Amino acid sequence: MKKILILEDFPMHQQRYSSLLKDEDCEVTIKSNGFLGLVALLNEKSFDGVITDEHMPKMNGTQFIHAIKNRYSKHFSNLPVLIHTMSSLEIEESRVRDYSRVYSHKKTKDTTYIKDFLQVI
């Protein structure tokens, strides 16, 4: 069973991704912003992957990725992260392209990309 951390501030999306991942036999932890996600990650250190929204209060998805891939790289440099967003995917990719195991996708109704992410972790 894969342990997935979801960082998403919109309750409807939290429920949607949680249901999808549970149907794929994943254990899911949900946090509503990157800061709370970082705290969960530092406390648990046992997640197999992270799915994060870009636009969240306190710490957005890009800031979260910078934190785990720079400041906490000793523990999380190989942690797979999927960042998805409703805004321009090109802008988001340019902010995280230098990090290994970071994937980006534009949010769509078709959630096949989330299942694809599970295959690489």
Indicate the domain borders of the chain: 2-120
Say how far residue 110 (Cα) sits from the centre of its chain.
17
Provide the pLDDT for residue 84.
Answer: 83
More confident residue, 119 or 89: 119
Give 59-96 pLDDT, tens digit per residue. Answer: 999 899 989 988 888 889 899 999 887 765 554 555 66
**76: which 2 tokens?**
């999380």
CATH architecture of 2-120: 3-Layer(aba) Sandwich (3.40)
Amino acid at 34: G
Checking if the pLDDT of 4 tops 90, the result is yes
pTM of model > 0.85: yes
* CA proximity to 107, closest of 58, 34, 51: 51
